[in-house]
Amino acid sequence: MAQLPNKKSLVLIAIIVFIILLIGLVLWDFSVSRPGDILTPTAPPLDDTLPAVSVAKELDIPWALDFLPDGSIIFTERAGRIRLIDEKEGLLPDPLLTIDEVAHRGEGGLLGIVLHPDFVQNSFVYVYYTYQNGAVLANRVVRFRKHDNNLSDKEIIIDNIPGASIHNGGRIKFGPDGHLYITTGDANNPDLAQDENSLAGKILRLKDDGTIPADNPFPDSPVYSFGHRNPQGLVWDGQGVLWATEHGPRANDELNLIEPGKNYGWPIVQGDEEAPGFVSPVIHSGTETWAPSGAAYLDGSLFFAGLRGQSLYEVVIDDQPVSLRRHLNRDFGRLRDVVVGPDNFLYILTSNRDGRGMPGEDDDRIIRIDPGKFR
């Protein structure tokens, strides 16, 4: 007769089964869509079957870009470099500037960049970055002046924006009113988003020199809207209406129509939840995760880049209700920013080297897309 396992053997077998089940659960958990997940598929090389061409490749985590008047592209790399793709010479090997004080920690680092609307006259370039402020991380917006292929004359526009290894916001844009708009994250402290005296979890509005516009919704405050978790996209539509994309917690990513002084709910409400005094998103991702970042407007549609979603999303705001379309699904991996170029093409930054993707041979890249091929 076969001998039955003794008590010690049964305990050992139970422990082994438990470990196997635990490993399986962890692997399943990483497969669930959410911002911050890793293990995304490798982005394929560009080919003629896709409506895209490569503008630059082998970049180091590019985060934002803007166009100079001559069509050259200025962009940030998160480790602290500001670089230039010259209209005639292509990508310059040396950066225009390396900002040594940039703290590249987690999602922090050198993030947004924008040119002054009167750049031709004043040569001003604005950037948003994370730095070490004593024992904590913080963010600031700084202005430089461009001289040939150098940036100098540093001037701080706004400082001491709460920072962390996650949720730093970082998008900066000039609005149709000529003022500077800045997205800030909650710095991994959700309560700060509801604190009107904190710069965290907000959209800020300033004059180009850092002073506060007299018509801001809160007296003597740069705060324009609040209750945001981690907004990373800003764009004005054809009617001059401001929209923002926002990362939600494990889904419930949002596209919001931004109005001055309004409260967008984080961390009290999200998704379809409603409560008096809070503004609901125009659309949200529900149980899916877009991880939306940079946004652009073209011909009746808002486009925004998806990180975890690995897609370029199009929201047709001319439709009632608005409709959502998905393009380039997993064709290029994680997408960080999208900007409309002077040629009315879309310029997209990939973010496959940010520690949450699996980069392809040419990553990271700036890709030029003909939006007409999506129609």
Domain for residue 44, yes or no? no
**Per-residue pLDDT, 8:** 58
**Token pair recorded at residue 35:** 């911002």
CATH of the domain at 60: 2.120.10.30
CB 188 within 8 A of CB 167: yes
Domain for residue 109, yes or no? yes
Domain for residue 10, yes or no? no
Query: How many Å from the N-terminal Cα to the C-terminal Cα in the chain?
Result: 74
Domain for residue 16, yes or no? no
Domain for residue 13, yes or no? no
Cα(247)–Cα(337) distance, rounded to whole angstroms?
14
Domains contained in the chain, number: 1
**Per-residue pLDDT, 158:** 98
Cα(63)–Cα(353) distance, rounded to whole angstroms?
11
Q: Which residues contact 345 (CB under 8 A, 6 or more apart)?
A: 368, 369, 370, 371
How many beta carbons lie within 10 A of that of residue 277, not counting itself?
A: 10
CA angle 101, 151, 73 (to 5 degrees): 105
167 is catalytic: yes
Domain for residue 29, yes or no? no
Residue (of 206, 185, 375) closest to 293 by Cα position: 185
Q: Which residue has the tokens 């007296």?
A: 219
Cα(310)–Cα(261) distance, rounded to whole angstroms?
32
Residue (of 331, 330, 297) closest to 314 by Cα position: 297
Residue (of 37, 84, 80) closest to 60 by Cα position: 80
Cα(43)–Cα(148) distance, rounded to whole angstroms?
35
Domain that holds residue 232: 53-374
Domain for residue 42, yes or no? no
Could you say which of 116, 167, 228, 284 is catalytic? 167
Domain for residue 20, yes or no? no
Per-10-residue mean pLDDT for the chain, 375 residues long? 53 57 41 31 42 92 98 98 97 98 97 98 98 97 97 98 98 98 98 98 98 98 98 97 96 97 97 95 96 97 98 94 94 97 97 95 96 86
**Per-residue pLDDT, 7:** 55
